[in-house]
């Protein structure tokens, strides 16, 4: 069964940086709305530090307008299922990376375009919402390590109840969703340069934490930072 998600999307910028004043509201299609024999859903992110705008295409067709650095499509876009060629282009329509991926009918996916300095990668993951339980009373969080570095980053997430995550994340790694008690979470990432912030998570909500930027970058808009989006509300 595909869970129905009531989505309210926003990117919240790290402390000290002005928030993006863009809110998105949408209602995901459930199994009665989406023709599961042919349709999947895809959300795309531009996390490429040195590309102010990135376009994402599927089998030669662009998915909407170019995405500015740190932005995303704001909602899941319906795409045809099957094995597709997923490509990312810069503002000059130069190919950054191309990936072949098989999208299953009725499933949700995210693509994070990552990297810097002619070393780019499309990181595609299935968003496994079917495993999340609304009745648990929990919130759900995951992270993507889009820090533009060749080495692993140290990621920690904690709450008033103690440590939730404390591990080494390779470039482009996307963690699974974990259940957490609603409230404040302290997030830290380190890779030569550290960034920290506190985020508040609510019951039944699912979130993706975006670890992004480039170590030792003097431009604050491109420095290592932590943002997050609210993926949606879990419905049983």
- What is the residue extent of each domain of the chain? 6-233
Question: For the chain, how far is it from start to end, CA to CA, in angstroms?
Answer: 10
Return the CATH number of the domain spanning residue range 6-233.
2.60.40.10
- Tens digit of each residue's pLDDT (9 = 90 or more) over 45-89: 999 999 999 999 999 899 999 999 999 999 999 999 999 999 999
Is residue 33 over pLDDT 90?
A: no
- CA torsion sign, 173 to 176 to 180 to 184? positive
Side-chain-side CA neighbours of 221 within 13 Å: the count stands at 11
SS3 of residue 35 by DSSP? coil
Query: How does 196-234 read in b/e, with b if 16+ C-beta sit within 10 Å?
Result: ebebebeebbbbbbbbbbbbebeeeebbbbbbbbbbbbb
User: Chain-centre distance of CA 65, in angstroms?
Assistant: 18
Q: Quote the pTM value.
A: 0.84
Question: In the prediction, which pLDDT does 24 show?
Answer: 27
Provide mean pLDDT across the span 81-104.
97
Query: How does 91-102 read in b/e, with b if 16+ C-beta sit within 10 Å?
Result: eeeeebbeeebe
């Amino acid at each position: 069964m595909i869970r129905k998600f009531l989505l309210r999307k926003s990117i919240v910028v790290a402390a000290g940086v002005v928030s993006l004043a863009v809110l998105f509201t949408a209602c995901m299609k459930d199994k009665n709305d989406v023709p599961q024999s042919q349709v999947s859903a895809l959300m795309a992110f531009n996390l490429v530090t040195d590309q102010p705008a990135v376009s994402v295409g599927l089998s030669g067709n662009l998915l909407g307008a170019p995405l500015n650095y740190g932005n995303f499509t704001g909602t899941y876009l319906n795409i045809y299922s099957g094995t597709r060629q997923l490509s990312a282009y810069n503002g000059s329509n130069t190919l950054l990376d191309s990936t072949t991926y098989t999208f299953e009918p009725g499933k949700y996916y995210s693509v994070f375009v990552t990297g810097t300095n002619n070393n780019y990668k499309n990181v595609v993951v299935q968003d496994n919402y079917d495993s999340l339980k609304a009745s648990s009373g929990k919130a759900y969080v995951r992270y993507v390590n889009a820090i533009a570095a060749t080495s692993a980053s140290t990621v920690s997430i904690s709450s008033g109840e103690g440590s939730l995550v404390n591990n080494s994340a390779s470039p482009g790694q996307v963690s699974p969703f974990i259940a957490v008690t609603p409230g404040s979470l302290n997030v830290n990432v380190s890779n030569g340069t550290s960034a920290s912030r506190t985020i508040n998570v609510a019951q039944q909500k699912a979130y993706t934490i975006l670890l992004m930027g480039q170590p030792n970058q003097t431009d604050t808009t491109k420095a290592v930072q932590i943002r997050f989006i609210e993926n949606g509300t879990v419905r049983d």
